[in-house]
Amino acid sequence: MKHYFTISLLGGLIISSSACFTSTQAVDVTDPDSVEMYVWTPPDEHDLSLRKTRQEMLDSISRDVEILSLKHQGVDQQTQVFGSKVKQVETDTETFEADFQARIQFHKKQQEQLKQELAKLNIDQKFLKSKFISLTAIEPQPRPKIFSRKDYTAAIKYLKNGQYKRSMHKFNLALQSNPPRDIKDNIHFGLSTAFYKLRKYSEAIEQLNTIRKYYPKSEKWHMSHVMLGMIHNQKGEKSRAIFILNDALKKNPPQNIRKIIDLMLNKIQGEPRNVTS
């Protein structure tokens, strides 16, 4: 169809260009003026040149029209290919959209199921928690440890034999088993002695201060001051040692302990004191 259109166009152009060459056969010879009007006169060189130029232009236009027609056919083919691809993309898009919507609906259902399961788990958790609290409330409480002199006696034995770590272990076991008050001061003093022998002075001071604070009427109260004086003196804290020893003298210690305190003060201060005989 397009090729036929091109040929028709070329034919029209050729016919219009040759209109000037109309045959004289249609001229009415009976009319003198008409005969004279249509008498053919050969063209001169200028007319021939113009005709040649016009024909070349027509030929060029004809070639351009043919080229454009061929290009138009190529564009039509490409348009058809592109149109088929567009249709395929539209089909794929519709398929993808349908699949995507189906997935959304599936995930929504899953989400609802998970919410229901979570709510059920929360209910079960609350029930189990209340059950656990109930069971804990009726669970028998552990019985307090009953003091046994076995650990206490073993601790003293290890202390005398120089097994200080074992002695501390047994003293701690005895202290944790709710011992009678009248031997608690002895346990703290035994622990302080073991720590002192192991040169753990801070731990020893802690045990001795416990005796000074909580057992003022204990027979170990004055001796705890003696031990503290020795430890502070060895640590180079002479003023602290002198203060603690003098504090013990103010509380009227037994004669044998007073003698030890006086000797220690003489040694620490480096000057003679009246030592009670």
List the CATH number of the domain containing 176. 1.25.40.10
The answer to whether position 166 is within a domain reads yes
Domain range for 244: 149-269
Backbone torsion region of residue 178, taken as left when φ is above 0, otherwise alpha when ψ lies between -120 and 50, otherwise beta: left
pTM for this structure?
Answer: 0.48
The answer to whether position 80 is within a domain reads no
Q: Burial of 38 by CB count in 10 Å (0-12 exposed, 13-18 middle, 19+ buried)?
A: middle
The end-to-end CA distance of the chain, in Å, is 148
Provide the residue type at 159 as one letter: L
The answer to whether position 227 is within a domain reads yes
- Stronger pLDDT, 40 or 191, i.e. the higher one: 191
The confidence band for 31, taking pLDDT boundaries of 50, 70 and 90, is low
What is the pLDDT, as a whole number, of residue 103? 86
pLDDT of 94 above 90? no
CA distance 184 to 211: 9
Assign 60 to helix, strand or coil: helix
Task: Provide mean pLDDT across the span 94-103.
Answer: 84
The total of structural domains in the chain comes to: 1
The answer to whether position 242 is within a domain reads yes
Task: Provide mean pLDDT across the span 110-139.
Answer: 78
pLDDT of 275 above 60? no
What is the pLDDT, as a whole number, of residue 175? 93
Residue bearing tokens 């003696």: 226
- Stronger pLDDT, 213 or 5, i.e. the higher one: 213
Backbone torsion region of residue 199, taken as left when φ is above 0, otherwise alpha when ψ lies between -120 and 50, otherwise beta: left
Provide the residue type at 255 as one letter: Q
CB atoms within 10 A of CB 24: 11
CA distance 187 to 113: 65
The confidence band for 26, taking pLDDT boundaries of 50, 70 and 90, is very low
CA distance 96 to 107: 16
* 147 token code pair: 């003091």
The answer to whether position 175 is within a domain reads yes
* 270 token code pair: 């480096």
Compute the Cα dihedral for 72, 75, 81, 87 and give only its sign: negative
The answer to whether position 212 is within a domain reads yes
* 75 token code pair: 């564009």
The answer to whether position 161 is within a domain reads yes
The answer to whether position 259 is within a domain reads yes
Provide the residue type at 8 as one letter: S
* 243 token code pair: 């203060």
CA distance 39 to 27: 10
Assign 76 to helix, strand or coil: helix
CA distance 246 to 238: 12
Q: What are 49-65's pLDDT values in tens digits? A: 888 888 888 888 988 88
